[in-house]
Structures are given as structure tokens and as C-alpha cells.
Amino acid sequence: MSEPSDGLAENDGSRFDRLPATAAEREVSGRATRESVLDFWEERYGIDPAIFADYTFWEKGSRKLWAFRGEIDSPIEIESLGITFLRTRQEHWKPTTDAVQRFGRHATQNVLTLSREAARRFVAGEDQEIEWDGDWGYLIVAHDLAGEREPLGVGLYLHGELRSQIPKGRRRELREVDTGEQ
Amino acid sequence: MDVLSRYEPLIDDFAAFRAACERPLPSVVRVNEIKATPERARTALEEEGVGYEPCEWHPGLLRLDTDHPGRTWGAFHGWVHGQEEVSALPAVVCDPEPGERVWAACAAPGGKATQLAARADDAGLVVANDRNLGRLSALRFNAERLGVTSMAVTNRDARNYSLDPFDFEEFDRALCDVPCSCEGTIRKNPDALDRWSLGYLDEIASTQEAILRRAIQATRSGGTVVYSTCTFAPEENEAVLDDVLDREDCRLVDFTCALDSRPGVTEWEGEHFDPSVQRAKRIYPHLNDTGGFFCAKLEVGG
């Protein structure tokens, strides 16, 4: 494959490459940086960058980012490293369900908390009409479970509608709660 | 063929053993402490009206009164993971500390490997390997759902495993939960013994030995290797340990196990094994109302 005109290499989808710290250290065209990833979580969801202090960020596959707790040599050719974390191919970056479940409890903004019944429909993959006064776009969707807010996954909020982004393999038909609450 | 009758000489109260093998298993989940405390996981079950009973020997294991543990909120959030009670033993015996490097040689579908990561507070490195690519996708799915961020997954043959991709030479611990004839899973899968044969036992035993030897070679001196199977056959259990004790620099060590168990056997069909194989534990279905299991702890360089 020829080099892009900016003189930077293309992503090699067969291996994990560690994200550069900043744009100045970037060697692969278009690759996100650690700085931009930390800024994304902080600006969009209010998650303190300190939460990610022990994590390194990686790209494998086109614009698919992974979070790994620890250090390891870059690049590395293995099947997976930590968890998938963030998709950066489109203009609006999209967190994964698993990343939101793992880190979303630290979020302070753009979190939409659903009733138990709405949460049940959300994890079944249904889109719902929901009132929401905040930003549009990818939200962290949560409900209250065992006394605290717990993130369910990512929803896309547009024009009064919350579109469930739970991947097909993660959707579940959960039983109705019969305690009468919520 | 009645496979299990060959074990009558080894088992006290063989009738109780038989009867237990014919009963279905209770539905058990392990609380994933990467995402929730046992208290919160229990509260979530109570909110859903799912009854549970903690397993006496392990506060993070719950027997549920539903046959569909995957349809609970706790399962969706990755707070709990369906795992047979006795299969939670080897990760407890391996017991990695935060910061340690652990190899799970035959890791898919990942119940034990994710348990290893959780025991190290998701702050070590678990290298979870499996040879089978299809099973590896189940491992990855489970690791992501349970929020395990300290795992590296590889797809290689454990018998000649290379550490080439990594920037270190040795593991601190290893767990060899090896492929086996699965006799102990008969309560979960009544067809488990349909393809049983002595020839298969021979073949799988040589695979098991090669995997265990590689684990010992890849673990630092003083490190821990745990060997486990879900089968009763001494050919796959004590005989494998006996061969490996002869060929690798290691020794069997005692370990405590809160489940009721019997020591490894030193004699089987005219063969005699190293007396230290008694330090391994045999777990029969009628002892704790679980599946059948075998577990041994080895120290490298000893």
C-alpha cells in the first residue's frame, strides 16, 4: 500500500499499535491520540482523565480503539488486548457498550437515566420516544440498580427518540420486575 | 458402555455417586467483582425476585432458583457469570496477586480466566490462550461483558506456546484447565460420555502432559502452576502428574480446599504413581452436589 500524501503510514489492522501521546508524535495517518481520547471522555461525559491513568490505548482494525490496563510493547500481534473502547471512524466518536458499562459510572454529564421498564426495552434493542433536554448524539444510558446508577450502554438521541445501540449479541429479553417499584 | 463403573474401586459410597451423577446440576453464578460486590449482586437479584443461596465455601458463588441466569439484570451488566460451582476452584487455588502475569493455557470460553483477572483486581496481566478460534470468540465476548481490561488473548497451540509477542520471558503463575474426557460434566451434559473410549483417554493424556509441561517451562522458579480437569480418569489426572514430575523441575504442593474432596490416588490398574499425587484433590458429585473435578497445585523449581 502506498503512503498517504501526508507522509504517514496506514493503520495495520493485523496488530495492536499503541496510540501516540499527542498529534506531534503521530506516525499513522488519522490515528487518534491519547490526548484526544482523554479529552473526548472528559468533554463529552465528564469523566476525569485520572480514571484512565493506569490504561494504555491501542488501535487494531480501522479506527477501533482498545483500552488495556497496563503496559506492553508496541506493536503486538495478538487477538485482543483489554476491551474495545471507542470507534473513531465517523465524525462523532462512539463508545462501545462494554466501555460504557466499565467506565460510565464515572460520568457526570450526557447520562440519561431510564425507568426500569424503559431500561428493559432499551436492552432488548427497542427505540423509544423519550424526553431529554440535554445534548443530542451518543449518550450514556443508565438505570438504577441495587441502590446506584448503573450504565446499560450507549443510546443515540435524535429528534425526541432514543435509539438503542446495544449490539445484537448483547441484547436481552429480561424479565419484568415484579416488586411493583418504578 | 458404562464408563463410570470403572471408578467403583476408587469411590466410597458408589451408590450415592451414581445417584448424584443422574441429578441435574443447580444453576450457579459467580459474582464478577470487577463490576460489582457480592452484596450489590445479591441486592439486584432480590430486586428482581430471583431467589439465591450463597455457596458455603465461596461468598462470590450463588446458587439461583432460576434456570435462566443469563436473563437477569446482573448478567446483562456483567455483575454475574454463569459458572459451575466446582469450576470456580482452580482460579482460587492459582490465586494471582495484582501485578502478576498469569497464563491461562486453555482459556475459552473464559469463566476461569476472567475469574483469575478478577482475583488480581483486574490489575495484573492474564494471557488467555485457546487453540480453537470459535471458542476464542466466546472468550472475548465474556471478557468484554465482564469488563476485564487486564487480559491479552492469543490463539495458539498451548503445547508449544511461544512468548514471542510479549516483552517478558516467564509467567508468575499458570492455569492448565486442560481438554479432557469430561466425565465430571455428566450432570450438565448427559451425552458427555457417548464418545468415550480408552483410545481417546490415551490420546488426550499425551496432550494434557504436553500442555502442563509447557506451562511449567514458561513459569518462573518459585511460581505456581495449577492443573485441573473435569474428569475422574486417573489416566488423565494422577498419571499425567506422575509423568510431568519425572520430566520437569517441579513438585506438587498441598493446598486448602473448602469443598469436600478426596486425595489423588497412587495406584490404578496395576500402575503406581509418585506418592505426592495424593496432594491433588478429587471432587466427586455426591460430596458437595457439584460436577466432578480434579485439581492439583504445583510449584516450579522445587
Give the start-to-end residue ranges of the domains of chain B: 85-300
Give the separation between CA B81 and CA B140, rounded to whole angstroms: 14
B65-123, pLDDT tens digit by residue? 988 889 999 999 999 999 999 999 999 999 999 999 999 999 999 999 999 999 999 99
Query: Packing angle between helix B133-145 and helix B111-119, nearest 10 degrees?
Result: 40
- Active centre residues of B (catalytic): 230
Contacts of residue B247, defined as CB under 8 A and 6 or more positions apart, other chains included, come to B213
Task: Check whether residue A127 and residue A95 sit in a common domain.
Answer: no
B167-188, pLDDT tens digit by residue? 999 999 999 999 999 999 999 9
Task: Check whether residue A25 and residue A90 sit in a common domain.
Answer: yes
Task: Check whether residue A156 and residue A121 sit in a common domain.
Answer: yes
Residue A165 lies in a domain: yes
Q: In a 3-state reduction of DSSP, which class is residue B199? A: helix
Task: Check whether residue A36 and residue A85 sit in a common domain.
Answer: yes
Q: Verify cis geometry, omega within 30 degrees of 0, for the bond prior to B190.
A: no
B48-64, pLDDT tens digit by residue? 999 999 999 999 999 99
Q: For residue A120, give how far its alpha carbon lies from the nearest alpha carbon of chain B (Å).
A: 9
Chain A residues near residue B47 by CB distance under 8 angstroms: 145-146, 177, 179, 181
Full residue range of the structural domain in which residue A131 is found: 110-170
β-sheet bridge partners, residue B295: B228, B281
Give the separation between CA A104 and CA A112, rounded to whole angstroms: 11
CA distances from B42 to B49, B55, B56, B129, B279 (A): 11, 13, 15, 32, 35
Which residue of A80, A102, A177 is in closest CB contact with B153? A80
Which residue of B72, B145, B155 is in closest CB contact with A98? B145
Residue A69 lies in a domain: yes
Do the chains contact at A123 and B125, CB–CB below 8 Å? no
Query: Packing angle between helix B238-247 and helix B198-217, nearest 10 degrees?
Result: 40
Residue A121 lies in a domain: yes
> Has domain B85-300 been given CATH number 3.30.70.120?
no
Which pLDDT score, from 0 to 100, does residue B153 have?
98
Residue A3 lies in a domain: no
Size of interface A-B (CB pairs under 8 A): 102
Residue A146 lies in a domain: yes
β-sheet with A94-95: strand ranges across: A17-18, A55-59, A64-69, A83-87, A94-95
Do the chains contact at B147 and A54, CB–CB below 8 Å? no
Q: Is residue B17 within a helix (H) or strand (E), and if so which, with residue range?
A: helix B14-22
Task: Check whether residue A118 and residue A95 sit in a common domain.
Answer: no
Q: In a 3-state reduction of DSSP, which class is residue A82? A: coil
Chain A residues near residue B62 by CB distance under 8 angstroms: none
B208-243, pLDDT tens digit by residue? 999 999 999 999 999 999 999 999 999 999 999 999
Do the chains contact at A69 and B122, CB–CB below 8 Å? yes
Residue A39 lies in a domain: yes
CA distances from B179 to B159, B176, B200, B208, B277 (A): 12, 9, 11, 7, 20
Domain count for chain A, please give it: 2
Task: Check whether residue A84 and residue A120 sit in a common domain.
Answer: no
Q: Rounded to two decimals, what is the model's pTM?
A: 0.96
CB A34, CB A57: distance < 8 Å? yes
Query: Confidence band (pLDDT; 50, 70, 90) for A159?
Result: very high
B143-171, pLDDT tens digit by residue? 999 999 999 999 999 999 999 999 999 99
Do the chains contact at B144 and A55, CB–CB below 8 Å? no
Task: Check whether residue A32 and residue A80 sit in a common domain.
Answer: yes
Give the separation between CA A57 and CA A71, rounded to whole angstroms: 10
What's the whole-number average pLDDT of chain A?
A: 92
> Is B296 annotated as contributing to ligand binding?
no
B283-296, pLDDT tens digit by residue? 999 999 999 999 99
CB B44, CB B79: distance < 8 Å? yes
Task: Check whether residue A66 and residue A132 sit in a common domain.
Answer: no
A113-127, pLDDT tens digit by residue? 999 999 999 999 999
Q: Residue A180: is its pLDDT beyond 50?
A: no
Report the CATH number that the domain containing residue A130 is assigned in CATH.
2.30.130.60
CB B181, CB B4: distance < 8 Å? no
Task: Check whether residue A138 and residue A120 sit in a common domain.
Answer: yes
